[in-house]
Amino acid sequence: MKKHNFSAGPCILPQSVMQKASEAIVNFNNLNLSLIEISHRSKDFVEVMENARNLSLELLGLQGKGYKALFLHGGASMEFLMVAFNLLEKKSAYLNTGTWSDKAINEAKLLGNIVEVASSKDHNFNYIPKNYTIPSDVDYFHCTSNNTIFGTQINDFQKTAVVKVCDMSSDIFSRQMDFSQFDLIYAGAQKNMGPAGTTLVIIKEDILGKVSRTIPSMLDYQVHIEKDSMYNTPAVFPVYVSMLTLEWLKNLGGISEIEKINNKKAELLYSEIDKNPLFKGFVSQKEDRSKMNATFNLTDSSLENQFNTLWTEAGINGLKGHRSVGGFRASMYNALPLESVQVLVDVMKELERTA
């Protein structure tokens, strides 16, 4: 039986997507060829790329609004650098809400001055800073919508007149919002969209071309836009699987429908964390809790082995917390069914009964 997969990334994908993807490895589109042995310039693959790019914009409600979607290499970590290469002339502002923002800041520092508008490092990133000021004289403002490791999520994005960039690696396509408030969104595929190996980048075209430096071709968004995301060989399989997941999401009713399910899953788990005296949430303020990655601890660490045995026997995978936080982390990405969260909650109740 398929395990209840709470892995933080790479992570669970819809079972129907896995099935179709595995068939395409053997025989793609009835070509009697594998998806991974045909030219990326063939009509069949160009269609996949176009579909994946269009679906991304469509699901985010960004079609016809001056945005381009790209599927690039190098993970979200490469975007930390590319964003700076393409947008940072002198100074930019970053909100530091965790390891990933921290890394983004360090890359950008290679190319200019960085103002950290606020940071929650003082409390091991267990909250989202609020009431900070974004300076008006910066080239852009960068934030991370969901902090995969610490389990916090931004609910109120501050309004600003400067270019707004967001790392949405771990919650893109999971909740509704006005995506047009952002000028650049990026997300590594392996958290909520596909296998590792490709990164979705959504850019408002008019923010480009404003820096004076020479940008290496592979790091230049304009080069990738001009070549329809085919400047070099794209990650054909990850792009194909991402396309299938986006189709799956569209057929389900899009982001508004998946958000309802995601809210139910988060509500179910957090209410057990709050109710059950054996558990304590890691995030200090409830309003900052991530609906994608729930981080929690045992109140009595001597129960760890017992809890680990119970959830492992229940067919649960990937519950161990990140090494910088400890405890447990339940990642509830789009493809994780509500039933899996129920199984986890039942295990938590079982521990309370038997401990």
Residues in the site for ligand PLP, rule: CB under 6 A? 9, 75-77, 100, 144, 148, 167, 169-170, 188, 191
Q: Element (H or E) spanning 113, and its range?
A: strand 113-119
| Nearest-approach distance from CB 188 to ligand PLP, in angstroms | 3
**Is residue 167 flagged as an active site residue?**
yes
Are the C-beta atoms of 66 and 206 separated by less than 8 Å? Answer: yes
| Nearest-approach distance from CB 33 to ligand PLP, in angstroms | 29
Contacts 24+ apart (CB under 8 A), 34-38: 35/236, 35/237, 35/240, 36/236, 36/237
**Is residue 260 flagged as an active site residue?**
no
Distances from the Cα of 34 to the Cα of 72, 195, 336, angstroms = 22, 18, 28
**Is residue 320 flagged as an active site residue?**
no
Residue with smallest beta-carbon separation from ligand PLP:
75
Nearer to ligand PLP, 7 or 340 (CB): 7
Amino acid at 289: R
Nearer to ligand PLP, 7 or 297 (CB): 7
Nearer to ligand PLP, 14 or 238 (CB): 238
For the CA atoms of 225, 229, 231, 234, the dihedral, rounded to the nearest 10 degrees, stands at 160
| Nearest-approach distance from CB 158 to ligand PLP, in angstroms | 18
Query: Residue 23 — φ and ψ, nearest 5°?
Result: -65, -40
Nearer to ligand PLP, 86 or 272 (CB): 86
| Nearest-approach distance from CB 143 to ligand PLP, in angstroms | 10
**Catalytic one among 191, 204, 265, 291?**
191
Residues taking part in catalysis: 100, 167, 191
